[in-house]
Amino acid sequence: MSLTANAGGRSGARLKGFGKAASRLLISIVLTYAGLLAVTFFIGRVVPIDPVLAIVGDRAPANVVERTRQELGLDKPLYEQFVMYVAKAVKGDFGTSVLTSNPVIQDLKSATPATLELALAGTLLGTGIGVPLGIIAAVRRGSLVDQLVRVVGLVGYSVPIFWLGLMGLVLFYARLGWVPGPGRIDIAYEFTVERQTGFMLLDTALQGQWDAFVDVLRHLILPAALLGYFSMAYISRMTRSFMLTELSREYVVAARAKGVGEFRIIWRHALRNALVPLVTVIALSLAGLLEGSVLTETIFSWPGLGLYITNSLQNADLNAVLGGTIVVGSMFIALNLLSDLLYSILDPRTRAR
């Protein structure tokens, strides 16, 4: 009877702890998203762009300007405008784009997959190269390999991404002809591929259009490699730091004293423990590429969120700029939540707290 009662008590305590954790998580999401909406709202009110004039033009009659202002609710007090803004944003209503005349949410649905495809490709390259380089640099600390990895990482942090992008186009496209020019797909395939998911590699593969698949892949290689280099510089540096910390711990010294092989110590013990913080680093790297893709997409005419926000800003399309900013901010929130979830899976100690 007592064993059953103890088991029931432990189950109840676990459920209670899970409920508290879920409540804290939900409150954190709500507060973060509310802060994001508040920031974008007030930015939209302080920038020197009149959304009414952007719609009707600066030569419109005064009565048209006033009527449009009333229709948009811009004649109301600021707090009422904020409530209206939040209510619409929660439903995905960011207004109509002045530039495209489409609902902003429709434009964002078309642009988001392009940015995700580019950022994911860059992150895969950066992780696949950066993690092994960081491990090798940590194992051979102070060697020539370690110095080379650190120099490569330093260059990745120091060189402006737009300069590397332009130099990459000049060398690999204009001079050598190894990659196609800017854009996401050649005009010959532009209207033959049906946009099912928005991810061009996936869409072309699902439709069996392998010529178009190769063309999309060739367009993707250079911008993804550029973003992957910056991601690799960050990930290799952090991997090296985490591995150095783990390799100096007592359990590694004890394992070596017991005669455990160096390969097993590095890849099965040290790396396994270093993966816990490394997951957060990779998630933040992906989030950084989503933010940093603005310049890359502009240079390579990549039709993603970065190019969309840039063109909208240049054309005083405030609805599109704020809508794109909210989508990018929402991705940051989602990636942080994902990293926290993976952190708890990889480190059981966090589930006990």
Domain check: are 61 and 167 in the same one?
no
Distance, CA of 339 to CA of 330 (rounded, Å): 14
Of the candidates 157, 163, 141, the one whose C-alpha atom is nearest the C-alpha of residue 233 is 157
For residues 184-213, average pLDDT: 88
Please answer whether residues 211 and 189 qualify as being in contact, where contact means their C-beta atoms are separated by less than 8 angstroms: yes
Total of domains in the chain:
2
CATH of the domain at 269: 1.10.3720.10
Q: Is the pLDDT of residue 17 over 60?
A: no
**Domain-embedded: residue 21:** yes
Residues 6+ apart with CB under 8 A from 19: none
Domain check: are 186 and 259 in the same one?
yes
Domain check: are 77 and 147 in the same one?
no
Domain check: are 81 and 219 in the same one?
no
DSSP string, 154-185: HHHHHS-HHHHHHHHIIIIIIIS--S--SSSS
pLDDT of residue 18: 58
| Residue 21, Cβ density class (10 Å: 0-12 exposed, 13-18 middle, ≥19 buried) | middle
**Residue-averaged pLDDT of the chain:** 81
Q: Is the pLDDT of residue 307 over 90?
A: no
Domain check: are 198 and 291 in the same one?
yes
Residues of the chain above pLDDT 70, percent = 87
Domain check: are 261 and 308 in the same one?
yes
Q: Is the pLDDT of residue 11 over 60?
A: no
pLDDT of residue 12: 57
For residues 251-270, average pLDDT: 81
Distance, CA of 279 to CA of 235 (rounded, Å): 10
Distance, CA of 113 to CA of 115 (rounded, Å): 5
Q: CA angle, corner 289, sides to 288 and 293, nearest 5?
A: 125
**Domain-embedded: residue 97:** no
Of the candidates 298, 317, 315, 316, the one whose C-alpha atom is nearest the C-alpha of residue 306 is 298
Q: What is the DSSP letter of 55?
A: H
Distance, CA of 324 to CA of 104 (rounded, Å): 8
pLDDT of residue 21: 62
Of the candidates 107, 8, 88, the one whose C-alpha atom is nearest the C-alpha of residue 44 is 88
Of 55, 90, 125, the residue at which a domain comes to its end is 90
pLDDT of residue 6: 53
Work out the number of other CB atoms within 10 angstroms of the CB of residue 78: 11
Distance, CA of 230 to CA of 159 (rounded, Å): 9
CA dihedral 149, 154, 160, 162 (to 10 degrees): 10
**Domain-embedded: residue 136:** yes
What global pTM score does this model have? 0.81
Domain check: are 60 and 199 in the same one?
no
Confidence band of 321 (pLDDT split at 50, 70, 90): confident
| Residue 131, Cβ density class (10 Å: 0-12 exposed, 13-18 middle, ≥19 buried) | buried
Confidence band of 213 (pLDDT split at 50, 70, 90): very high
**Domain-embedded: residue 164:** yes
**Domain-embedded: residue 95:** no
pLDDT of residue 221: 92
Q: Is the pLDDT of residue 219 over 70?
A: yes
For residues 259-284, average pLDDT: 82
Distance, CA of 224 to CA of 209 (rounded, Å): 22
**Domain-embedded: residue 99:** no
Q: What are residue 103's DSSP bridge partners?
A: 96
**Domain-embedded: residue 98:** no
For residues 83-95, average pLDDT: 84
Say how many residues make up the chain.
353
Of 40, 61, 90, the residue at which a domain comes to its end is 90
Both tokens assigned to 328: 């990018």
For residues 327-342, average pLDDT: 81
Domain check: are 193 and 334 in the same one?
yes
pLDDT of residue 125: 92
Domain that includes residue 54, residue range: 2-90
Q: CA angle, corner 57, sides to 56 and 58, nearest 5?
A: 130
Confidence band of 211 (pLDDT split at 50, 70, 90): very high
Domain check: are 159 and 241 in the same one?
yes
For residue range 100-149, what is the model confidence (pLDDT) as tens digits? 888 889 999 888 899 999 999 999 999 999 999 999 998 888 888 888 88
The amino acid at residue 102 is N
For residue 178, the Cα-to-chain-centroid distance in whole angstroms is 28
pLDDT of residue 22: 67
Domain check: are 320 and 264 in the same one?
yes
Domain check: are 78 and 206 in the same one?
no
Composition of the chain by helix, strand, coil, percent to 5: 80, 0, 20
Please answer whether residues 282 and 131 qualify as being in contact, where contact means their C-beta atoms are separated by less than 8 angstroms: no
Q: What is the DSSP letter of 268?
A: I
Domain check: are 252 and 165 in the same one?
yes
pLDDT of residue 1: 47
